[in-house]
Chain A
Amino acid sequence: MHARPASLLQAVAQRYRSRITLNNLRTHKTANVRSVFSLVGAEIRGNDPCRLRVDGPDQDQAFQALRGFIEHELPGSDDPPTDDSHGTGDLILPYSLKIAGPTYLTGTPAHKALAWATLHVAQTWPLPTHLDVGQVDDPCVELARFDRARQILADRIQGRIGSDKQSVEAQILAAHLGMLRDEEFIECIHHSIWQQRCSPAQAILDAAGHYGRTLRSSESALIRERVLDLEDLCRQLLVEICGSQVIPSAAVGLDRPSILAVDRLTPSAFLALDRENLKGLILGDAGTTSHTIVLARGRGLATLAGVPIASLKARHGVEAILDGALGILVLEPDEQVRTYYRMEQARLAGRQARLQESVGSRVETLDGATIEVAANISCVEEATLAFRHGADGIGLFRTEMLFMDRDGPPDEQAQVAVYREVLTAAGDRPVVFRTLDVGGDKDVPYLGLDKEDNPLLGNRGVRVYRTHESLFRTQLRAMLQAAEHGRPWIMIPMVSNLEEVLWVRSVLDQVRAELAESGRPCPPSIPLGAMVETPAAALIVDQLCGPLDFLSIGTNDLTQYLLAVDRTNGHIRHLYDPHHPSVLRAIRHIVDQAHCHGKWVGVCGEMAADPLNLPVWLGLGVEEISVTPASIGTLKDEVQGCEAQQARTLVADLVGCRTAADVKDRLLAWRQRQGLFDLVDPRTVCVGVDAPTKAHAIKALVDRLYVEGRTDDPVTVENALWQRESTYSTGLGYGFAIPHCQTQALTADSVAILKLARPVEWDALDGKPVSVVILLARREGGDKRHLQVLARLARSLMQDSFRQFLEQADDPEQIVRFLRQELNLT
């Protein structure tokens, strides 16, 4: 019996005044039924014989009530919360992973990367064993303080449970409430305060230590994990009694490479984590565009949201793999699952290496149009990372991160040092510094901003500057003084009227004049721009262009304000869609107006990072897109395969679309048309590969298509191939197999060849193992001429001489030359 059923039993017992005990005849332990901890400590398992004893004035009623509860309700009350998260939904595993049979939990994929490390389930902080809060003068006063805190906390938990009694969260909260009302627990604390003259805080810590040891010694994992609930509860009690200053914040220490699982994480807490050891992030409660996730994406971290963290507590410390693309967390992988993920690591690294080939140079489209691909960063380390990924500049430096998670603002010289470092890293590439953007969901306590009912429509961005003018001036001074080290641009967030811009312009001019007067380094001018992220700013772009030098479209906020959707609200998150025709129309208006006035326009929201939207920027002719460093390679690669003229035609179509789905369909179709790949290519011919099974061989070929950018959805391609294999094996005899499929998931029609180092079983027509695998993959509805080539290839395979050549050749170039000639490819 673990904490949740025990708390239900306790609740029944506490309705009566009688003393009630339960004696476990197997363990000879006797529990006070009015105490969850005591019940849990009795180690009661299914089918243990137990004796219930009730003594007191209302013993008959109490006995009847308990008997009824134990017979009818208790058996159904104990379903462990872990099962709740195993719902597979529409998750489709690739065939090669499915047959490996992994144990996993699902969540909402927030960043498609792969992490393989130890699972670190962050509790709150570990409780201290001792707190020095002074002497106790009057135990009566202290007892009252404790009881008041307990009552406040109980009311709060009750409030959170509300009317929702069935959810896992409500059940866990109910168990917390049970602990808070635990007779023995309360008695233990009262005793310390009264008899030992302990402070309430120390008494709580002692009780936490005592019951923690009891729970930890349990033979049941379910009970052991309740330690975290106990600590959670005691921490909340301590905060109630001592205030949050005395109780340290819930900082998470990672002492080895870890996948961190935590319910909620503020942006500043995220930034305080050990970067080296943080490999992946699992958030219980977060929208996929919350700022913490935005930050995690920027780091290229595998990230999963919406995973019930409570169900992971018992798995703290186990080996885990976070597969951000599939949206699963694999726990305790066996050797087969590890083999699959080693191939996955090779696939992702291969693609990365391929993309590196286009890093380091400005890119242009096939018809010679250019676009800069810059990076969004929050700190110096990210700037270095961005340039390693080939950034053409920094399109958004979120300076507010310097101001967060500290007791006061950084001073002028500290800021100069950071700005100088970023500018130096950038060299002759521009760096767009966004001035302090706080408020909204980014709280900086020392600024003393009021709590607001509607912070996203509240005092944020430029609106804060008038009341914190000296802070703003200091930041401008720091930026100007660092300017000699590179090419800084200054950008104002959250502009909604012209007055704000004019005011900032005048302050900037004053600050510059003061600096020049005092003989400090200061540039003669510095480009000033604004974020266009409110519909108001979008509609007055022509007027904003007067005092400004450039504009940058913040698509996240622009989308949420245009659509009136709070992107962190789980209930309406699905309405947040940057492909809504209104968003495209607004963006086109902004870019056209700015260009009319001869101004530079960039795009720095998440929309820019999705390769699907690339033709929008190319078609509109924006000067720069600024994205997370990890996305730069893919985007630069794709720019080079596009034609800007075609993109312009597409954009004209897109703004006429009536639905977001229609916009998305057209973008998808466009992207597939752009694939300029040869059907056969030496890069998709792999010789001497070692694959232990047919599943590995097929995955190896699909992975190769992915590395070469011929598919972005290897899972669908792999499963389509296996769908075909399920009708009958494609092993055609003579040691040859031709797995094949037609699917929309391909960017380009492809013939890929795998020559195996050792033959594998394929269930072939002649029963012999296979050593030459020829993959035929065609994009459904694609180029008809390629079908004719595939048909010729199929016919050629019936010729002995054709097969003999393929068996003997081991040079990819030679094989491709041969195929081109035999199949009449020019």
Chain B
Amino acid sequence: MHIVAVTACPTGIAHTYMAAEKLEKVAKELGHTIKVETQGAMGIENELTAADIAKADVVILATDIAIEKASRFAGVKKVEIPVQRVLRDAKAVLDGLKP
């Protein structure tokens, strides 16, 4: 599967990046391709383009706060979960995805 994701936590200095790392790591183990955008204290990094989103089989929004540029995901099939869920069990999150 082609997965894209956005991570964003309340303070934006730790969990945003831990969740991104975890998603990338587990997706790779499961044989998926993934691109993760982080929205932390440094602002948006590794930003998802319209093409990235169009190409993706599924979008994961692992966020505890309202994200920037949310309109990009209007009308797109997406999974919205709290950041903790990724940290607790990223594999279950990815296993539950259907293209």
Contact = CB atoms under 8 A, between A and B. Distances in A.
Interface of A: 724, 727-728, 730, 732-733, 738, 740-742, 765-766, 776, 778, 784, 787-788, 790-795, 797-799
Contact of A787 (B10, B20, B42, B84): B42
A158 B85 CA distance: 71
Interface in B4-34: 10-11, 13-18, 20-22, 25
B24 to A, nearest CB: 9
Nearest to B20: A795
A695 to B, nearest CB: 19
Nearest to A738: B14
B90 to A, nearest CB: 9
A118 to B, nearest CB: 44
B56 interface: no
A498 to B, nearest CB: 60
Contact of B22 (A778, A788, A793, A798): A798
Contacts of B14: 730, 738, 740, 776, 790, 793-794
A362 to B, nearest CB: 41
B87 interface: yes
Size bracket of the B interface? 20 to 34
Contacts of A727: 10, 64
A776 B88 contact: no
Nearest to B23: A798
A790 B14 CA distance: 7
Interface string B64-85: 1000000000000000001010
B1 interface: no
A765 B25 contact: no
A55 B25 CA distance: 97
Given A742-B41, A787-B40, A791-B42, A765 B15 contact: no
B17 A791 contact: yes
A698 to B, nearest CB: 15
A241 B55 CA distance: 101
Given A742-B41, A787-B40, A797 B18 contact: yes
Contacts of B87: 732-733, 765
Interface of B: 10-11, 13-18, 20-22, 25, 38, 40-42, 64, 82, 84, 87-88
A795 B88 contact: no
B64 A778 contact: no
A214 B52 CA distance: 89
Nearest to A720: B11
Contact of A733 (B10, B15, B16, B88): B88
Given A765-B88, A787-B42, A794 B18 contact: yes
Contact of A795 (B10, B18, B42, B84): B18
Q: Which 6 A-B pairs give the minimum distances between C-beta atoms?
A: A794-B17, A795-B21, A798-B21, A791-B17, A794-B14, A794-B18
A516 B36 CA distance: 89
Given A742-B41, A765-B87, A787-B42, A795 B17 contact: yes
B45 to A, nearest CB: 8
Given A732-B87, A776-B13, 11 more contacts: A727-B10, A728-B82, A733-B88, A740-B13, A740-B14, A765-B87, A766-B88, A778-B41, A787-B41, A787-B42, A791-B38
B21 A765 contact: no
16 contacts: A728-B84, A732-B15, A733-B87, A733-B88, A740-B11, A742-B11, A790-B13, A791-B13, A791-B17, A793-B14, A794-B14, A794-B17, A794-B18, A798-B21, A798-B22, A798-B25
Contacts of A776: 13-14
Contacts of B42: 784, 787-788, 791
Contacts of A730: 14
Contacts of B18: 732, 794-795, 797-798
